[in-house]
Amino acid sequence: MCTAIGLKTSNNYFFGRTLDVCSDSGEETVISPRSYPLQFRAAETLFCHRAIIGTAQVVGGVPLYYDAMNEDGLCMAGLNFPQNAVYHPVAKNKINLAPFEIILYILGKCKTLDEARAELKNINVADISFSEGLPHTPLHWLIGDGTGEIAVESVGEGLKVYDDPAGVLTNSPTFEKQLFNLKNYAHLSPYNPRSAFTDKLDLAPYSRGMGALGLPGDWSSPSRFVRAAFVKFNLVPERGDFGTGDFFNLLGSVQVPNGCVEGATGFQYTVYSCCCDTKNLTYIRKTYSGNSSESAITAQNREGDKIFICK
């Protein structure tokens, strides 16, 4: 379970996600500087690339990014995509990347969302696991910058790339079905409703917020997709003082409390949420317990040949 959101304001672009699992895996805030070699199992090493910051589990010197932003403000997150993700054999005349390599490759090479779109045309998500101890996770991805967002899904037919006008991604079912499902909630509104039931009865609202009656409140993937989109489009983001605190409030609308969602090894909950502030190249991560950390891509950490672990 996870939710990712991209949001353009009048003077900034914010991108972030919740990670909803049963426990943390030792993930940390990590910076991959420009000259830190990015090695891939079946693709050429990137010896020089854009600096990247995000949350990753570092295994054997390899940053396995869950989400990240590069120094040009391009952002990306990987989310669980059970029963739908399909990874393919290594293909000739394609850039073959393992699922855990996609974020590193796209953010290392691409400056803009348009460049990412173009690069994805040549990519095959290959059936290459990290190791026997770290088997595949079924994933799909949200990529965004100030121009918009795209959803990327590797399915049986191959790699599909969708324009995402909602700027939201959750989990299964497929993105097309999630977006279509929004049609069932077209009547929702932040304003007090007027009765269309009959003019012969007094059905004036008795409470504020009744325009959103029917907004799903559970933590299923379709419900979080609808709720995140509804809150996002009613946050008045064009106001000039919209900031990271507002973005975390948006993520809070889909945060999962511990004890409410059964998982495979316990209860799933929002282990962390994060916000990429692309104007200031600042990455903020908050844990379930309320601890927060803030790190940035600065001039001094855009160079170097070692991963920076940000505490």
Query: CB burial class (10 A; 0-12, 13-18, 19+) of residue 219?
Result: buried
Question: Cis (ω within 30 of 0) for the bond into 63?
Answer: no
Query: CB burial class (10 A; 0-12, 13-18, 19+) of residue 104?
Result: buried
Helices (H) and strands (E) in the chain, counts: 5, 17
In the set 2, 110, 274, 276, the catalytic residue is 2
Is 2 considered catalytic here? yes
Amino acid at 136: H
Strands 123-125 and 95-97: parallel
Three-state DSSP state, 233: helix
Which residues have a Cβ under 8 Å from the Cβ of 5 and sit 6 or more positions away?
Answer: 15, 16, 17, 167, 168, 228, 232, 247, 250, 251
Quick count: other Cβ atoms within 10 Å of Cβ 173?
Answer: 16
Quick count: other Cβ atoms within 10 Å of Cβ 136?
Answer: 14
Which residues have a Cβ under 8 Å from the Cβ of 227 and sit 6 or more positions away?
Answer: 215, 216, 217, 253, 254
**Count of all residues that appear for the chain in the document:** 311
Phi, then psi, of 285 in degrees rounded to 5: -125, 135
Triad 141, 145, 151: Cα angle to 5°: 25
Residues that are catalytic: 2
